[in-house]
């Protein structure tokens, strides 16, 4: 950092700076030799020195760049270190899903009490832009390469555009207006201001529409020309699924219904699975999962953090349990409560703690016996997306039909909602009990439906604090603002 401290423009954000400072061939060698995602990549570097000029002139090394991005997301999920793949924990704490056991734990209590500030390095901003930078690098390299097999280039370009859109979706929903970085020029990127939410969403739409045209309709493995049963590389249907969600969030209900419908019609690939099978690796409901990276902790971060031992929660390894707000939201006889939630009563019967049990394999699972991958996109959400879009468009019968698919799987009767307002309320309730502790869905639903103040004013009292509507957006880290004079802080921080 000291070497360039007189060039303020190069300090836009630390991920780009760190990559720029590295000898680039060393960075790409590290990408190539990653072998932890065994179903994705088994590559031996073909060069003694891999650099920016030759990495995109070979199918295997080009593929490894994208594989590394998925591996990083998977690793972050296991460790819950502030990447978007650990939103299951941090957004659950911020909202009304999780209760924090150790209230003095500084790693978690700023989220729980919603007391993040400009000195809070959450990691969500920096890790997302690091991934975006790598995606931009891949798009540039793939576009100009003349050596990569045509089919490989097409698939990888689709993956790079998909993952860029994926990151921007989470950035814009966590922080609001964000800088729109679409190339790898550090001088240009260093002084970017924040782009409007609408402009960022426009980029998301464009990237995903491109990805739909480029990505395969079936699942591909390490050699992206060959099909596989592993559902760990994005397909055309993953792009449609994310588009359906993005359009729903911005109120474009016609296009949201259209995209969800395209996914739901693919019955040869996807179907609603049993409650106990949904989160297994390569389940029928899976549209896209993150393959578990080899580690000694277990299958997923959700299993690591949520499944409590007989001694209950503690201050370090098991810091959270489910809140009463979530537990009490289930209808009587809802089988999700018995299949996706479990509990532990302490030996002295002094307390009972409920925990999320969507993922059945906890931290004690021996390494390399993976039965579960982290679910990123699944069919259940698409039914709820189409149901909400249809309700907003006045298609009451169609909206009820989709909602009842999810209710039937949960062992519940058909919805009693009869009009648009009743249906929207019923759908949002169903999202709460269907998608809990998954990828920030509850936190984002509260914000997009403008119900966050009503809910969090009550939840904050239970947490022993107060709520401010400014906290719906998380703050930018002060060093990032200091490095770029065009960045401004979110209101209220």
Q: Are 62 and 142 in contact (CB under 8 A)?
A: yes
Backbone angles phi, psi at 55, to 5 degrees: -65, -30
Neighbours of 479 (CB within 10 A): 14
What is the greatest pairwise CA distance in the chain? Answer: 69
Per-residue pLDDT of the chain (493 residues), as tens digits, is 333 333 233 323 344 333 333 333 334 433 433 333 433 323 233 333 345 566 888 899 999 999 999 999 999 998 888 899 999 999 999 999 999 998 988 889 999 999 999 999 999 999 999 999 999 999 999 999 999 999 999 999 999 999 999 999 999 999 999 999 999 988 888 889 999 999 999 999 999 999 999 999 999 998 899 999 999 999 999 999 999 999 999 999 999 999 999 999 999 999 999 999 999 999 999 999 999 886 666 789 999 999 999 999 999 899 999 999 999 999 999 999 999 999 999 999 899 999 999 999 887 656 567 899 999 999 999 999 999 999 999 999 999 999 999 999 999 999 999 999 999 999 999 999 999 999 999 999 999 999 999 999 999 999 999 999 999 999 999 999 998 989 999 999 9
Neighbours of 263 (CB within 10 A): 26
- pLDDT of amino acid 57: 82
- pLDDT of amino acid 366: 61
Structure tokens at 215: 């990505």
- Helix, coil or strand: residue 447: helix
Q: For the CA atoms of the chain, what is the radius of gyration?
A: 22
Q: What pTM was estimated for this model as a whole?
A: 0.91
- For residue 195, the cross-strand partners are 178
> Which helix or strand (DSSP H or E) is residue 444 part of?
helix 441-448
- pLDDT of amino acid 52: 55
Q: Which ranges of 353-419 does DSSP label H, i.e. alpha helix?
A: 379-392, 396-409
- pLDDT of amino acid 345: 96
**487: CB partners within 8 A, 6+ apart:** 179, 193, 194, 476, 480, 481
* Burial label, 393 (beta-carbon count in 10 A; 0-12, 13-18, 19+): middle
Instruction: Supply angle C-alpha 52, 57, 62, rounded to 5.
Output: 75
Helix axes 253-264, 379-392, angle to 10 degrees: 140
- pLDDT of amino acid 104: 87
Domains of the chain, first to last: 14-82+125-234 (1.25.40.890), 269-308+317-465 (1.25.40.390)
Q: What is the rounded CA–CA span in Å between residue 81 and residue 317? A: 13
- pLDDT of amino acid 42: 30
- pLDDT of amino acid 233: 97
> Which helix or strand (DSSP H or E) is residue 152 part of?
helix 150-175
Q: What is the rounded CA–CA span in Å between residue 110 and residue 121? A: 11
């Amino acid at each position: 950092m000291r070497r360039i401290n007189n060039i303020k423009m190069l300090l836009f954000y630390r991920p780009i700076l760190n990559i720029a400072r590295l000898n680039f061939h060393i960075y790409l060698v590290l990408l190539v030799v990653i072998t932890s995602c065994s179903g994705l990549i088994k590559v031996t570097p073909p060069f003694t020195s891999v650099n920016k000029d030759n990495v995109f002139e070979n199918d295997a090394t080009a593929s490894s760049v994208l594989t590394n991005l998925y591996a990083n997301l998977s690793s972050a999920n296991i460790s819950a270190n502030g990447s978007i793949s650990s939103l299951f924990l941090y957004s659950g704490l911020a909202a009304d899903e999780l209760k924090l056991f150790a209230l003095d734990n500084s790693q978690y209590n700023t989220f729980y009490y919603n007391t993040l500030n400009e000195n809070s390095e959450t990691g969500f901003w920096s890790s997302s832009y690091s991934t975006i930078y790598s995606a931009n690098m891949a798009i540039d390299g793939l576009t100009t390469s003349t050596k990569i097999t045509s089919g490989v280039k097409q698939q990888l370009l689709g993956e790079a555009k998909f993952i860029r859109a994926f990151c921007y979706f989470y950035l814009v929903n966590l922080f609001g207006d964000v800088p729109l970085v679409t190339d790898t020029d550090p001088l240009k990127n260093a002084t970017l201001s924040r782009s409007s939410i609408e402009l960022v969403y426009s980029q998301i739409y464009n990237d995903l529409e491109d990805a739909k045209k480029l990505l395969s309709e079936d699942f591909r493995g390490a050699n992206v020309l060959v099909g596989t049963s592993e559902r760990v590389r994005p397909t055309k249907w993953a792009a449609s699924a994310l588009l359906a969600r993005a359009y729903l969030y911005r109120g474009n209900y016609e296009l949201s219904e259209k995209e969800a419908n395209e996914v739901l019609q693919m019955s040869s690939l996807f179907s609603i699975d049993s409650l106990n099978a949904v989160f297994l690796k390569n389940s029928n409901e899976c549209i896209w999962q993150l393959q578990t990276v080899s580690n000694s902790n277990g299958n997923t971060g959700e299993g690591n953090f949520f499944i409590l031992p007989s001694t209950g929660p503690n201050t370090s390894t098991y810091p959270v349990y489910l809140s009463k707000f979530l537990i009490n939201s289930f209808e009587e006889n809802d089988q999700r409560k018995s299949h996706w939630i479990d509990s532990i009563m302490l030996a002295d019967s002094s307390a009972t703690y409920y925990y999320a049990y969507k993922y059945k394999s906890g931290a004690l699972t021996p390494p390399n016996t993976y039965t579960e991958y982290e679910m990123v996109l699944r069919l259940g959400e698409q039914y709820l997306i189409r149901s909400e879009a249809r309700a907003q468009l006045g298609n009451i019968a169609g909206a009820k039909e989709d909602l009842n698919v999810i209710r039937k799987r949960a062992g519940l009767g058909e919805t009693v909602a009869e009009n648009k307002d009743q249906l929207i309320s019923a759908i949002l309730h169903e999202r709460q009990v269907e998608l809990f502790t998954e990828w920030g869905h509850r936190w984002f639903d509260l914000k997009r439906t403008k119900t966050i103040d009503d809910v969090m004013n009550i939840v904050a009292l239970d947490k022993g604090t107060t709520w401010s509507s400014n906290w719906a957006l998380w703050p930018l880290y002060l060093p990032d603002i200091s490095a770029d004079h065009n960045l401004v802080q979110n209101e209220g921080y």
